Structures are given as structure tokens and as C-alpha cells.
Structure 1
Amino acid sequence: MSARSVSAGNGISNEKLMHDMRAVVTDAEELLRATAGQAGEKVAAARERIQANIAVAKDKLIDAEHAMAEKTKQAAKATDEYVHENPWKAVGIAAGVGLVVGMLISRGR
């Protein structure tokens, strides 16, 4: 896996997705607590299904967080290896990116 295969945009959208999923799970748990006093066979069945789905969602969220952390570690390792193997190329790329960012910043003023 090369450092180029992990895009910054992907990381940001994955982090937002993880945040949104945690918010959904938290909201669903809050809804279950709020309706705990509701009686009825249909409500009890729905609560059981929702609790089971929340448990599955939590497990998948944990798995996704671990996978994202592993991909981040792999990308960092690949970047580190690339920089060690091509130090002058890395310096040139960093200088080029810095130049472009500097130009964009100065144009915005």
C-alpha cells in the first residue's frame, strides 16, 4: 500500500461517518431509555429489536474504528518508508506544497 492510496478526503469523511454513527447509537439508546415505561406487546418487541440492532451497530462501529486505525498506521508507515527511501523527493514535494499553500493564502488577502 502506498502513501498515495490513502487520501485526506477519505480520512475526513470516515471520521465524520464514525462520529455520525456514534451519535445515532447514542440517540437510539436515549430513545430506548425515554420509552422504557411504555407498555404493550408491540412496544416491547420493537424495543428488543432496537436493542439488538444497537448492539450489532456498536460492534460494527468498534470494528470500523479498529480498521480505520490500522489503515492510518499503515499509511503512516508507508509515508515514513517513502520519506526514508526518497528524502530529497520528499523535501521537494513538501516545498512545492508549501509554495502552493503560501500562494493560495496570499491571494486570499
Structure 2
Amino acid sequence: MPRKTAARAQDDLLADFQSLVSDTEKLLQDTASLAGEQADELRLQINESLKRARDTLRDAEQNLKERGQAAVQATEDYVQEHPWQSVGLAAGIGFLLGLLAARR
């Protein structure tokens, strides 16, 4: 269950960032009617920033996916190799969380 929640949070963050990039692109298109050398320079800078942001987003997304998959695989491998230790660890964590919850 936590894996789905973390993945959903990651997807929401990426969607928000992509929305920000697309909104900025729309703003850039809407300001295309502005004239002047400064406006052209500003549009060029915004375009370059958007390209860097898209590249960074793509790289970050790929990196996060790879790291997440590696963590999931390592956890699954450990649980398969050490099932009783995993059960004991889960029971211990559950016990500690129960104690903390009972104190409140």
C-alpha cells in the first residue's frame, strides 16, 4: 500500500510540474504579440528555461523510476531470502507503533 501512495504522490508532483510547464508555454504564446527587442529577448530566455525544465523533468522522472524499481526489487529479494527475519521485523515495528499509539 505505501508503494502505491508514494507512486501516486510522485505522479501528482510530475503532473503538477508538467502543468506548470504547459501553462508557461501558453503564456509565452499569448505574449507573442508583444513587440520590441526586450520582449523577444524575454521570450527567448523563457523558451530556453522551459527546454531546460522539460529536460530536467524527464531526467528526474527516469531517475526516480529507476531508483524506485531498484528499492522495490531489493526489498522483495530480501524478503524472499529472509522471510522469518522480515516477519519478525514487521511484528516488532507493529508492536512499537502500537505502543506509541497507546500513549496518545
Task: Tell me the TM-score normalized by structure 2.
Answer: 0.74
Q: CA deviation at 1:106?
A: 2.2
Q: Among the aligned pairs, what percent are the same residue?
A: 40
- How do 1:1-109 residues align onto structure 2 when only pairs under 5 Å count? 15=10, 21-22=17-18, 24-108=20-104
Q: CA deviation at 1:101?
A: 1.6
Amino acid at match of 2:76: D
Comparing 79-88 with 25-34, greater Cα deviation is found at: 25-34
Instruction: Give, in whole Å, the separation in 2 of the partners of 1:23 and 1:70.
Output: 23
Q: Indicate the structure whose relative CO is greater, using CA pairs within 8 Å and at least 6 residues apart.
A: 1
Aligned length: 97
Amino acid at match of 1:74: A
Corresponding residue for residue 7 of structure 1: none
Note the residue ranges of structure 1 that are not aligned, 5 or more in a row.
1-10
Amino acid at match of 2:94: G
Instruction: Give, in whole Å, the separation in 1 of the partners of 2:83 and 2:100.
Output: 26
Larger helix proportion of the pair: 2
Note the residue ranges of structure 2 that are not aligned, 5 or more in a row.
1-5
Q: CA deviation at 1:72?
A: 0.4
- Report the CA distance shift for 1:50/1:78 in structure 2 as closer, same or farther (over 3 A): same
Instruction: Give, in whole Å, the separation in 2 of the partners of 1:80 and 1:54.
Output: 38
Amino acid at match of 1:83: V
Task: Tell me the TM-score normalized by structure 1.
Answer: 0.71
Instruction: Give, in whole Å, the separation in 1 of the partners of 2:27 and 2:78.
Output: 49
Report the secondary structure of 1:36's partner residue: helix
